[in-house]
């Protein structure tokens, strides 16, 4: 596992208890230990390679008593009905995809990759575990899959941007037009 810069806010066990009560489910001990040590946090330059999930760069782990974008309880409420019931968003990749921890009895503690681009393929509340990509069978196994990203410019030689689209309203805003 690579280094993770812990959040400066202290871990709030009461918030985890509140979330567990709301879910009527409990977090694996290994995940609670991670939160006690890091309270979420930011991993250094990394890449996660899994046999079943696409490779991705992890941007942040969610924690307790943090801002709106990386607070575990607020993220749970944001993704409720969008990810399978019994799953909790515990991290995000650089593309805005979510890493989910399954707390339901079937496949308890498994870690999954939720691709937000595929969200519109499902009615709200209808996505199932088998619609996600399995990353690891436990949170600790997931942590051990995080590797240092050693990609350099030479590795990207020959790749070119084929097309780019910019929202016209956003472009006006960027150009200070009204």
Query: Which CATH number belongs to the domain containing residue 122 in this structure?
Result: 3.40.1580.10
pLDDT grade for 120, boundaries at 50, 70 and 90 = low
Place of tokens 């196994």: 141
CB atoms within 10 A of CB 138: 16
49 lies in some domain: yes
Q: Which residue has the higher pLDDT, 134 or 175?
A: 134
Domain range enclosing 70: 4-150
The reported pLDDT for the residue numbered 154 is 63
Least confident of 8-12, 91-95, 107-111, 155-159: 155-159
pTM over 0.95? The answer is: no
Q: What values do phi and psi take at 59, rounded to 5?
A: -105, -40
52 lies in some domain: yes
90 lies in some domain: yes
Q: What values do phi and psi take at 151, rounded to 5?
A: -65, 135
pLDDT grade for 126, boundaries at 50, 70 and 90 = low
156 lies in some domain: no
* Average of per-residue pLDDT across 36-40: 93
Give the total number of structural domains in the chain. 1
The reported pLDDT for the residue numbered 110 is 97
159 lies in some domain: no
What are 62-118's pLDDT values in tens digits? 998 877 778 888 898 899 888 898 999 999 999 999 999 999 999 999 999 998 887
107 lies in some domain: yes
Q: For the chain, give the number of residues.
A: 178
The reported pLDDT for the residue numbered 153 is 57
170 lies in some domain: no
């Amino acid at each position: 596992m690579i280094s993770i810069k812990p959040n400066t806010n202290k871990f709030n066990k009461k918030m985890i208890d509140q979330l567990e009560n709301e879910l009527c489910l409990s977090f694996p001990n290994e995940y609670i230990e991670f939160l006690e040590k890091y309270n979420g946090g930011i991993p250094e330059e990394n890449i996660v390679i899994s046999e079943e999930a696409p490779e991705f760069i992890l941007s942040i782990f969610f924690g307790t008593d943090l801002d709106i974008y990386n607070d575990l309880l607020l993220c749970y409420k944001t993704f409720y009905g969008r990810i399978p019931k019994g799953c909790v968003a515990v991290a995000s990749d650089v593309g805005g995809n979510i890493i989910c921890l399954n707390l339901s009895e079937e496949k308890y503690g498994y870690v999954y990759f939720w691709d937000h681009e595929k969200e519109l393929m499902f009615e709200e509340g209808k996505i199932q575990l088998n619609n996600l990509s399995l990353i690891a069978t436990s949170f600790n196994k997931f942590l051990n899959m995080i590797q240092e990203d050693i990609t350099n410019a030479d590795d990207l030689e020959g790749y070119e941007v084929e097309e780019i689209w910019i929202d016209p309203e956003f472009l006006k805003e960027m150009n200070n037009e009204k």
